[in-house]
Structure 1
Amino acid sequence: FVREELLADEDKIVARVAATQGVQVQYEEYEAMPHCFAMLIPHLATSDRCLQSWGDFCRRAVEAPATLQTTGTFVRVKTGREEPRDVTAMTALSVEQARGFMREAKERRIKGYEGEGKTLPKPAL
């Protein structure tokens, strides 16, 4: 059972909305990788690829912004194989649906659904 990055849905929504509004988006998703994996597991080839891509994008955004174009890429964990993704069609979730999910999660936390008291004040040490 492979899980996705915890922020994958919101990242896809933001990327889609930006791309449909004319923003040049470079979206990359790495299969089965945790949040900030490139810094947590630096010895992986995909970590090198990710950091190199970040740097390349930043450099092009400053030095040659006219060359930027919207791209989407999914990188396989075992092979490093890159698969193109349509940034404007990566998720069917709307902003309104995402907000609804966030409201539901907030209510569950307030009600103590998980029994963790996440809305209780934290004692100062």
Structure 2
Amino acid sequence: MQLHSATGQESLDAIDSVTESRAKRSLLIFDDVWGDIVHFHAVQLPHPEVTIEVDVEPKVAVASRKRILAESASKGWLLAVAHHPFPGIGHVRSEGKGYAWVPVEYSDLPTTKK
């Protein structure tokens, strides 16, 4: 499958994000979508060095997490992620020695009168 941006550039890539398995990849779509690299946002965003049991290779998982978080924050990627509060869409910003989650604003759709 190929996706192209409005400018015609190919916009689908797989990036290494080893956490739960050695073969783990995240999809990077239009340079701004992040995969499953944080399992408990309240702990692992401020402390990306923290691992959990599903990180099959903890040192590799920490390196992947730090690299992708740094790139996400520096490039301002809009992220669609698992293991975060609803809506699971937002940005990561650098904060101290770690990162913080900045969710997108959302609200109910306006009701229409019939």
Tell me the TM-score range normalised by the shorter chain.
Answer: under 0.3
Tell me which of the two structures has the higher relative contact order, counting C-alpha pairs closer than 8 angstroms and 6 or more residues apart.
1
Q: TM-score, normalised by structure 1?
A: 0.23
Bigger fraction of residues in helix: 1
Bigger fraction of residues in strand: 2
Larger CA Rg, structure 1 vs 2:
1
Q: TM-score, normalised by structure 2?
A: 0.24
